[in-house]
Amino acid sequence: MDIVTDTLSALWKVLAVGILLGAGLPALYALGLRSMNSGRTVNADGTVSGSTSAAGRAVGLVILAVVIAIALFGIVVIVWGKQIFGA
């Protein structure tokens, strides 16, 4: 019975990280792009009018920097995980 409990314990952790990184990071990326484009509207003919706000661009850049940092951290863990964490 311990093997089933251990397996289910590990499974929910992997599932939670997969959902967080698989859906959370793309959602954050989209939010960053959306906030960088705040204040602009698309007209019926497809042209874009208005200008972006400085605050929207700043928030968008911070969000995109966080997404890039998380992605780079994931690459570092994959490549050098054993040396860093000593597993």
Q: Report yes or no: 34 and 56 within 8 Å, Cβ to Cβ.
A: no
CA 11 to centroid of chain Cα atoms:
22
Residue 76 lies in a domain: yes
Residue 6 lies in a domain: yes
pTM of the entire predicted model: 0.73
Burial (CB count within 10 angstroms: exposed 0-12, middle 13-18, buried 19+), residue 80:
exposed
Residue 58 lies in a domain: yes
Split into its structural domains, the chain has a count of 1
pLDDT, position 21: 84
Domain encompassing residue 6: 2-39+51-85
Burial (CB count within 10 angstroms: exposed 0-12, middle 13-18, buried 19+), residue 32:
buried
Q: What is the spatial distance between Cα 58 and Cα 69, in angstroms, rounded to a whole number?
A: 16
Residue 10 lies in a domain: yes
Residue 57 lies in a domain: yes
Residue 44 lies in a domain: no
Please name the amino acid found at residue 65. A
Q: What is the mean pLDDT of each run of 10 residues along the chain (87 residues)?
A: 89 90 92 90 87 91 96 90 78
